Amino acid sequence: MHEHGGRGRLVEVVIPVYNEERVLAASVQRLHAYLSDTFPYPFRITIADNASTDRTWRVAEDLMARLDRVNAVRLERKGRGRALRHVWGTSDADVVAYMDVDLSTDLDAFLPLVAPLISGHSDLAIGSRLTRGSAVVRGPRREVISRCYNLLLRATLAARFSDAQCGFKAARTEIVQALLPSVEDEEWFFDTELLLLAERNGLRIHEVPVDWVDDPDSRVDVVRTARDDLRGMARVGRRLLTGAFRAPVGGRARPTAPAAGGQAGAALPAGMARQLPAFAVIGAISTLAQLVLFVLLRLAMGPLWANALSLVITTVFNTAANRRFTFGVTGTRRALRQQLEGGLTFLLGLALSTGGLALLHAAAPGASRAVEVAALIAANAVATLVRFLLMRAWIFHPRRLGHQRAGAGSPHAGGARVYVATPADGRTPAAEETGGTLS
């Protein structure tokens, strides 16, 4: 590491590229000129060519030969996450960053991005197109998809950052190198997984509103990327559930709200810390299953019927899975009643998603299948939040479960065994046979 305290801190900017021979030279020259003229810290630009098949590597070599403080590395396998992992993981800079090669983000946001990292105020920093003060120019399709994705992250994995996908991020090198071994993705979900892992470890993420102009020549396969992102969310949810989503890096202590007695209490109500990861995993799997069913059913019927039928099927699975794994209820006692009550959450999801599709087709007749799927994701994200609250506060509320008696004179006659989380060990068997109140 370099000396602390200001102008001696080295910042390395990575530009991951794949088949970008047309724009690479102009973008790197523009970035180099901007940083040379305005940036107050030493910098290095590293072009990370991940298995380009055109002349991208030759252009990168030429830039490295002509411009000082420009470096280039070539990887033999594709993947933006793989390229960032390689460069960030071996960097000797104090702060590492990356930008998309099209430089869609206004470069004036770069100093505000890295300054809190250099000062030690924050651990990671992201540019956000979804916060107040940002100015974004892009088509409605990508706008809807981006907002749906970030809403889904907040609804299912409790993400607090606003924009996971903006190609304008930075981190303190010592922090990111500690996180990297625990990040599994090598492609587009890499950013999201890194940010979720950082939050899970209590690290501070600084957000900068950015001016951003969409690149009309972007060749990102939106549908494939969305599918891979959903798979990544399900994988992270499983790791959260098993407690494996950790990294050997110290986080910052976060203040907790005072409890009723005036003492500092837990950040979440009792039991929720255990329930949320399970609910997130089941929700991600249900969402993916519903989207797959919707696309298949659309081959034989209209969007409203396809949506309704796919929701019916996945709601039965969702209620059963949450009954068993999120709220710890086993056995068949009152399972039918709980399924019927879960059906009311189906009606809520149906109303939200059907209304969303109807509004979409009214506002944009002939909308593409990808936009339909994005609208469903947004509606399902809202329904997911309400579904969790209804299940926790009504369907599987401990008081209702506590009144499920095993039967007169037989404390073990088929009663469900209910577990509620406690601060001590996270799983305490509830005395459902006595009909007592659970807390």
The candidate with the shortest Cα–Cα distance to 10, out of 55, 31, 41, is 41
The DSSP-derived string for 115-179 is HHHHHTS-SEEEEESSSTT-EEE--HHHHHHHHHHHHHHHHHH----S-S--SEEEEEHHHHHHH
Determine the Cα angle at 408 with ends 402 and 410, to 5°.
85
The candidate with the shortest Cα–Cα distance to 269, out of 421, 45, 152, 74, is 421
Cβ atoms of residues 395 and 405 within 8 Å? no
Which of 191, 211, 214, 221 is catalytic? The answer is 191
Distances (CA, A) of 90 to 110, 171, 320: 22, 14, 47
Measured in degrees and rounded to the nearest 5, phi and psi for residue 163 equal -145, 100
Element (H, E) at 207: strand 205-209
How far is the C-alpha of 109 from the C-alpha of 402, rounded, in Å? 55
Check if 425 is active-site.
no
How far is the C-alpha of 401 from the C-alpha of 416, rounded, in Å? 8
Cβ atoms of residues 167 and 192 within 8 Å? no
Q: Chain centroid to CA 315: how far? A: 23
DSSP state of 258: B
What residues act catalytically? 191
